[in-house]
Structure 1
Amino acid sequence: MALELCLRSTIALLLVAAGLIGGCDRQSGPERQAEAANAAATGVAPAPGASATPATTAASGSPAAAPMADKLDRSHKGEAAPTLPFTDAAGKKRTLADFRGKPVLLNLWATWCAPCVKEMPTLDALAAREGERLQVVTVSQDFEPAKVAPFFEKAQLHKLPPFVDSDLAFGTQLGVNLPATILYDSRGREVWRMLGENDWASEAAAKLIAEAR
């Protein structure tokens, strides 16, 4: 019986992981196509794990992405923030309730997710701009949590604490693919969630975040 329960738990975790990876792959599909096209044109294959150079808009140089309205989901408005624990850099267990009293922007991401990595600098810029008015909480869904802190150091993300969720519990309970960003008000109630990559340093993002009180 114990062996059967263990096998079931392992299968469930693998299914969750496959869903997270699948969602991230769908987000980065155009980049993979760009890499293939470039390799065909130049005869040089991309390095393993490398991603194509992001497409940019002529006006701002920001990563090209689907319109924000297409990724915005308000169907969970008013729902309470999950009470799931995650771990800070010192190994201490934390929950979103620790940040109650000010709006919280929760971002679920992973080092292996190209769209997630691409938007991280804009989240860091947002945290620097908002200061004490908003708590930006990035919770890694990495299978290898030890990769998170070195990634933050290499990317020079100075305003984002490297939180990790080694159980992948957030992605499971919230039923989202990566990257996913959810805004909670100061009472811990959901305002909206953004499914997919976004430029969090933009004016459009600032207007959406201002909805939280």
Structure 2
Amino acid sequence: MEFAPLPWSSRLSFTLVLSAALVAGCSREEPVDPQAEVAEAAAGQLTGMIDRSRAGDLMPAVTLTDPTGRSLNTGALSGQPVLLNLWATWCAPCVEEMPLLDALAGEYEGKVRVLVASQDLQGAEKVVPFFQANRFRHLEPWLDRETLLSSALGGDGVLPTTVLYDGSGQEIARVVGGYDWQSPEARALVDEAIAE
């Protein structure tokens, strides 16, 4: 059975829909060829917006692990503001914002904990080489292979997703999609968490 090729306008529509999906963020499912997606993604994907619609929600209690087997219960993080970032090595906007998060973590060390939780299904196998190659100075490689945080945050699986919590564990705001964490708006948001 032969299929007729799509008309030119249908191919254009499909291309536009696919492009919009890539710019909006990354789906939580890993693509068939993650390296190809990163290579093909255009720079400048930091298009996330601050969303305060879930302000007041409590930080979910999920146990993360690091590559050495150490564990961390996110529900026990209180007394200090937390910037919780869900990311993956195959997600272009995630990769683009990681150095910005590392710099932010250095600037706010002791005042805000910047916690990055990888949603890579292969866990340490992907995350450890990524951290080694990028030589982050302030971020720790936490793993969430079962993507429990993504589910607990009630998101739609778009990566990156970053949520800012105050010292009592209540959400202040979130950003879905890549974000410039060195911008004046980002600093004002983080300063708000410290002031509460």
Q: C-alpha offsets along residues 119-161 of structure 1, whole Å, 9 cap, x if unaligned?
A: 0000000001111011000000001102111101101112100
> Is the 1:74–1:192 Cα contact (8 Å) retained in structure 2?
yes
Flag structure 1 segments of 5+ consecutive residues without an equivalent: 1-22, 30-46, 55-62
**Alignment of 1:156 onto 2:156:** no
Q: Which has the higher helix share?
A: 1
Query: TM-score, length-normalised on structure 2?
Result: 0.76
Query: TM-score, length-normalised on structure 1?
Result: 0.70
Flag structure 2 segments of 5+ consecutive residues without an equivalent: 1-19, 27-34
**Residue type of the partner of 1:159?**
H
Change (3 A) 1:90 1:65: closer
Mapped to 1, the partners of 2:25 and 2:75 lie a distance apart of 33
SS in 2 for 1:118: helix
Q: Which runs of 4+ in 1 moved over 2 A?
A: 23-29, 63-66
Shift of 1:24: 7.1
Shift of 1:28: 5.6
Mapped to 2, the partners of 1:24 and 1:158 lie a distance apart of 32
Which residue of 140, 144, 147 maps to 1:165? 144
Pairs within 5 Å for 1:17-166: 25-27=22-24, 48-49=36-37, 50-54=39-43, 63=44, 65-66=46-47, 71-145=49-123, 146-166=125-145
Mapped to 2, the partners of 1:107 and 1:171 lie a distance apart of 10
Q: Which structure has more RCO (C-alpha within 8 Å, separation ≥ 6)?
A: 2
Mapped to 1, the partners of 2:55 and 2:36 lie a distance apart of 40
Identity of aligned residues (%): 40
Mapped to 2, the partners of 1:141 and 1:83 lie a distance apart of 16
Mapped to 2, the partners of 1:82 and 1:190 lie a distance apart of 10
In the other structure, the counterpart of 2:29 is none
In the other structure, the counterpart of 1:197 is 178
Change (3 A) 1:137 1:151: same
